[in-house]
Structure 1
Amino acid sequence: MAIYETQSVCPPQDRFLWGDTRYHKKRGGGDLFSIPDGVRQVLGRLTGLGFEAHLVGGCVRDLLMGREPHDFDVATSALPEQVKCALCGLRVIETGLRHGTVTALAGGQAVEVTTYRVDGGYSDGRHPDSVRFTDELTQDLARRDFTVNAMALSPKGELVDPFGGRDDLGRRLLRAVGEPAHRFEEDALRILRALRFGSVLGFAIEADTARAVHECRALLERVSAERIAAELVRLLCGQDAREILLEYPDVLGVFVPELLPMVGFEQRSKYHLYDVYTHTVEALAAVRPVPVLRLSLLLHDVGKPETFTLGRDGAGHFYGHALRGSEMARDILRRLRFDNETVDTVCELILSHDIPIERSERAVRRWLGRLGEKRLRLLLEVKRADNAAHAPGVSSRAQQLDEVESILARVLEQGACFCLRDLAVKGGDLIALGIPPGPGLGALLQKLLDAVIEGRCQNERDVLLGYAEELRSQTP
């Protein structure tokens, strides 16, 4: 068995407590993060039979940072079959038995348990071709991506940190374990994970690791679209997304090449002080970290380079960029395998982001009829963030958006009808008047809704039926 140095996890005033039933980290306010019962049960089963068992990876990092872990991973000296025996009576799923991994369900908690291992080659650039089990924890930690994820914590509260992960946490630094390029060649997704960790944790990326991120970026072509999309969304919603996006557009350009023409593209407009890409990033950083909002801002001006024209006065124009951007965004999001709801919402927001909303109840009702309340509210957020990234003091639309939001609140409070679902008559009512089912019936319902939205007709059944008869009589 390898001998390795351990250290106390925290200084005395901020120590982890491990007992028969608790494993907590004290926080400034006195509240505690607790290791779930199911995790303690798994650790106890393994150590009770004489095996080593440690918490590893992201849960250790999060505990040291004072963050509540969402997932708990355990590494153990027990071989997979021994793990299954130790966890007898619990539900055990053979999620990756070939690589030494099982998932135990204990106390409502899913705990991934992996035997200490050394990985073989990575011919596909994503997964090891083979693994060799070992009884040395440090060898297992050596195969991991970044130093802050290459620490282990024993049930006694001892930290195993052979690569200086705790010091890097203190410096808020993301550094690859070993040679960065080698780590990325093993698993190309680590390139995007580096950016995601930098964004979410607010860490700087160490110089050699950052250099390798740039140099190895083409390896991302090996990664599936679904994995790219998942990492991208988390990156975009991170606290330091702005800094990462400004520093690494070449990396994003591997899987969204449509972003690259935006970099350095001058807008030549008094309304803009940034190039298209920088404006995009500044707008993205100004909106809430909600996936559809961040994706919408990332792509809202993607159509600008293709639609640029220069006026006689030397000013730049981007006529039709919202329509073109919506079309391009649909291609991008489908390529990355986003779900239909996300694709449709983002494309609708991009298509509408540059259309002014008249400050009147009639206009707001029409927008509600077109988008619905949820999407209209999202659109207002997109517009506000886009405006925040314009040149200061030049045609600010913030006050106009405030007025639109006030009108929206008033319209909704009045219970205004803005969709067919809220209309006081239904298709069956019109059929009873003798109007046959079919496209004409749907068109008539839409005309009735338009009349209600525009205030030409009250949303009352008898009134609407009378108006329907009037429209019917006008039809040749």
Structure 2
Amino acid sequence: MKNRAIEQANAVLYLLERAHYQAYIVGGAVRNLLLDLPIHDVDIATSAEPDEVMSLFQVTFPVGIEHGTVVVRYDHVDYEVTTFRSESEYKDFRHPEQVRFVTSLEKDLARRDFTVNAIAMNREGTLIDPYNGQADIQRQVLRSVGKASERFEEDPLRILRAARFVAQLNFSPDVELKQAMQAKNFRIRKLSVERIYQEMTKLLAGRWAAKGLHLLMATGVFSELPLLCHQSPKQNHEVVKIDYRECSSDAERWAAFLLSLDIKDVKAFLKAWRFSRKNENQVQFLIKQFKVFTKKEWDAYAVYQVGIENVRAIERLKKAFHLRGEGQKQCAEAYNERLPIHSRKELKVNGNDLQQWLGRKPGPWIQEWIIRIEAAVVKGQLVNDRVAIKGWVESCHKQKKKF
């Protein structure tokens, strides 16, 4: 099982082993290797304590040193290197009351959430799998390490992580896991909205997002999510009909999600869920334009105003909702190719020109003229040429046209 990311990480394992420490690749990297999926990050577990790890490598960052984690930058790649540890009771439903460093890999694996994430691999490629995660991968089953209810009590985010892995991997939860999700769904209220948002964003991006969402609904977790407790079961069912695979960005997927739920106050929802200002604006824009252009056809001016990238996003949303074919997208693309300008910056005149031509002081009137000129150029009523525009402006001004 050769993989470039794993081979690069093995150099870090070698340096730890050369210093007489144990070191293993753990978690998602091993899981994805076994599933033949892309590996984005490689985490390493070691018997070396944080200060010992930092003494071995030139570039390190003590990002979670209180929990035994040091980021090691080696050959321009960052690795989270964490000391073998066991954990005591989780009193804040996120962080253990006490972290104890241990010398046993098996004890370290025992604290992990799901069996598929509790597999380690040494530098020779030998797998250490005390909880039969490989068998669960082959069966496509998601199962907890130990009692699921205890894992969820420690950190309720694992409830959402379970649904997220179902969405990403197309696994099915075993009976105990599903029952524990239902029994502990109220614990979701203990999570910060930021953590919920991050997991839900990953879930919606999963190839089998509808399956993950269905699990959340079947276990009552969905109704515990912020601002969703009053959604009707009928409306909730609409959310699993969306083909999120047609969307190509988080903003598109969230727009589809909120449209399917018919959220009335989108702005309030986005603020409550702590969306960034940029994402908040983009999601609101897509929802607004989607509602317009499911009833209205594209024309040149509409394509210009919305922007071709947003046009494509709206057409992808339509496909996610199983609306229309490729005709409208092709029509919009054709309009875009024929547009004489694609942004206001391309106009051959500016506010200074207008002041000079009309002999007026600066004011809101300049913006009004620019908008009118822009529309006339885009609609083909006026050539984007400085002389032509000057003549058009002076003619309109003489006729005292109001706009």
TM value normalised by structure 2: 0.91
Q: Which amino acid aligns with 2:180?
A: A
C-alpha separation in 2, matches of 1:188 and 1:340 = 27
Quote the residue 1:465 is aligned against. Answer: 390
1:341 aligns with 2:311: no
Deviation digits for residues 419-449 of structure 1 (CA, Å, limit 9, x no counterpart): 4223232222212222322211101111112
Q: Which amino acid aligns with 1:134?
A: V
Quote the residue 1:318 is aligned against. Answer: none
- Kept in 2: contact 1:238–1:289 (CA 8 A): no
- Kept in 1: contact 2:27–2:118 (CA 8 A): yes
C-alpha separation in 2, matches of 1:359 and 1:335 = 31
- Kept in 2: contact 1:293–1:346 (CA 8 A): yes
Quote the residue 2:315 is aligned against. Answer: 380
Calculate percent identity across the aligned residue pairs: 31
Deviation at 1:290, TM superposition (A): 2.7
Quote the residue 1:292 is aligned against. Answer: 251
1:452 aligns with 2:377: yes
- Kept in 2: contact 1:236–1:289 (CA 8 A): no
Deviation at 1:232, TM superposition (A): 1.0
1:212 aligns with 2:212: no
Change (3 A) 1:258 1:467: farther
1:141 aligns with 2:109: yes
- Kept in 2: contact 1:56–1:150 (CA 8 A): yes
C-alpha separation in 2, matches of 1:251 and 1:416 = 51
Q: Which of 102, 119, 124 is the equivalent residue of 1:156?
A: 124
C-alpha separation in 2, matches of 1:455 and 1:357 = 25
Deviation at 1:414, TM superposition (A): 2.1
In structure 1, the residue corresponding to 2:348 is in which secondary structure?
A: coil
C-alpha separation in 2, matches of 1:179 and 1:352 = 47
In structure 1, the residue corresponding to 2:336 is in which secondary structure?
A: helix
Quote the residue 1:422 is aligned against. Answer: 346
Deviation at 1:278, TM superposition (A): 3.1
Change (3 A) 1:358 1:296: closer
- Kept in 2: contact 1:345–1:375 (CA 8 A): no
C-alpha separation in 2, matches of 1:349 and 1:370 = 13
Q: Which amino acid aligns with 2:204?
A: L
1:239 aligns with 2:207: yes
Quote the residue 1:56 is aligned against. Answer: 26
Quote the residue 2:92 is aligned against. Answer: 124
Deviation at 1:417, TM superposition (A): 2.8
In structure 1, the residue corresponding to 2:320 is in which secondary structure?
A: helix
Quote the residue 1:103 is aligned against. Answer: 71
1:232-271 residue pairs with structure 2 within 5 A? 232-249=200-217, 250-258=220-228, 260-264=230-234
Deviation digits for residues 213-267 of structure 1 (CA, Å, limit 9, x no counterpart): 1222222222222222221111001111111212323323322434752421xxx
Q: Which amino acid aligns with 2:139?
A: R
Deviation at 1:384, TM superposition (A): 3.0
Q: Which amino acid aligns with 1:354?
A: K
C-alpha separation in 1, matches of 2:274 and 2:364 = 33
In structure 2, the residue corresponding to 1:71 is in which secondary structure?
A: coil
In structure 2, the residue corresponding to 1:354 is in which secondary structure?
A: helix
Deviation at 1:111, TM superposition (A): 1.3
Instruction: Extract unaligned runs of 5+ from structure 1.
Output: 1-15, 17-23, 25-31, 265-275, 304-324, 389-396
Change (3 A) 1:462 1:280: farther
Q: Which amino acid aligns with 1:351?
A: K
Deviation at 1:77, TM superposition (A): 1.5
Deviation at 1:158, TM superposition (A): 2.0
Quote the residue 1:29 is aligned against. Answer: none
Q: Would you say how many aligned residue pairs link Structure 1 and Structure 2? A: 398
Deviation at 1:285, TM superposition (A): 3.6
C-alpha separation in 2, matches of 1:257 and 1:148 = 32
Task: Decide which structure has greater helix share.
Answer: 2
Change (3 A) 1:154 1:387: closer
Instruction: Extract unaligned runs of 5+ from structure 2.
Output: none
